[in-house]
Amino acid sequence: MLNNINNSSHSWLWFVARHYSRIRPPKPVPVESVIRVSNNVARLGSRKEGPKPRQLLSLPPFPGHPLPGRNSNESFQDGQQHDGYVTAVNWIKYYFKGILGSVIESHFREGLVQMEDPISDNNLSQNEEPRRPLRKIRPNEVMKQGARIHIPVSIAEARISKRYDAIPSGTLYPNADEIKYLQRLVIYKACLASNDLAIMVLNKPPKLPVKGNLPVHNSMDALAAAALSYDYDEGPKLVHRLDRETSGIILFGRKEESVSHLQWLFSNINNAKSSSKVWNDACESTYQRYWALVIGTPKEKEGVICAPLRKVLLDDGKTERVVLAHHSSMEPRQEAVTEYRVLGPKINGCSWVELRPLTYRKHQLRVHCAEALGTPIVGDYKYGWFVHSRWKQMPRVDVEPTTGKPYKMRRPEGLDVQKGSVLSKVPLLHLHCRELVLPNIAKFLRVFNKSSEELPRSLSAEPDVLRFVATMPSHMKISWNLMSSYLV
């Protein structure tokens, strides 16, 4: 009987081993076959994979009603007037100012717009992390304060011109073509009742210096004085500055009074305040937002950088550099604060980040990105040379966060990626001042001149703050379009 038990156990082990051996492998998972027809020939094949998830762009939390730069009684782009609330489609049209409404509405029709509802702190325990699932929404969805909208990055795709606009030559007397070129950069002009020009907003191109000196003639201030005087004796004056390689919104003032008030805003907001409560509220709502493409991804999706800065001289004694100041150091330093928010996922080793400086120091955003976050801006060789030298040689395999599959990059046909984009050998600086909100200085100057704390009824209908949005330069548009071409 013992022999029978041993024989039965050996046979059972042999059966198990045989079942999982190479001689008898497990049965493959059945895949449903479909009939494919190509060139009038029918073949039996497997089903195609479904559409891959699109890359989503995260909008900032909804600030509430009314939106900055828009009166509460002002109608939206849909021609309707909403009392006390803002719909999802109008919030997206407000944020992506300049994008056709038909493009935004098509994303709603295809069900590509999703919302992340705000969660109150009362519903969370101390150790519980907030998890807010995304849900599809309709265009007439009423926005709640703190809610976030996620939309595919393809909504911000833009056409790329086949050639660059020629930057004016180094002369203080530009010709007719250069004058037209500079006038096309003007986004906004605000005039007073006497037709005196109060402010002027321009979309500065990259590689054009703002302030000129003896060896630099083709600067923004010199060219604006020659081409944007508009029959005045003197040209407009700069209110704030941008780096030579940085593009985006730059502000000019015509009258000394408007320039001084606006310069106080960019230096110290407390100096710009007055006895007028409406003016003080408008000053508090002033902000700038930059879009930047950085190498890598910040560890936190959003946060505040509080890192003071100081200036040092390099070994040659001439080159100046801005670095982070240590708290233990006795050298003079300047307080610098920047809010940041990651716009989307990591693509090709890079991430799009939205920056909002709360102080205005020289090279503040570039140093904070490179040294505080450890993610230098693409094209910033001054503060990120070491990372750039290794970045092009590092093997990068970006994984889609939903499916875990690697991204496959598709270069759009007919697109020249060598125009300073992220795929070129030497990319240009990817830092752009996209949005600016500031007080309506043309409105408040009349109040200051009359020395009255209350606004007249004729002026109360005008907005207290103005909002401007500038389109990205060509090299950043190419990088954005390349990012949105990963998943199609």
Q: Catalytic amino acids?
A: 243
Residue 163 DSSP symbol = S
Angle, vertex CA 375, rays to CA 384 and CA 467, nearest 5: 105
Closest CA to 473 of 315, 235, 249: 249
Residue 215 DSSP symbol = T
Contact 324, 370 (CB under 8 A): no
Enumerate residues 6+ apart whose C-beta is below 8 A from 477.
158, 160, 471
Closest CA to 228 of 184, 182, 197, 271: 182
Task: Render 409-461 in DSSP notation, one character per residue.
Answer: --PPTT--TTSSSTTSSSPPP-EEEEEEEEE-HHHHHHHHHHT-SSPPHHHHT
Copy the structure tokens of residue 122. Answer: 């009362």
Orientation angle between helical segments 101-109 and 88-95, nearest 10 degrees: 140
Contact 278, 456 (CB under 8 A): no
Closest CA to 243 of 365, 368, 341: 365
Q: What's at 289, amino acid-wise?
A: R
Copy the structure tokens of residue 24. Answer: 């008898």
- Three-state helix/strand/coil letters over 102-134: HHHHHHHHCCCCEEECCCCHHHCCCCCCCCCCE
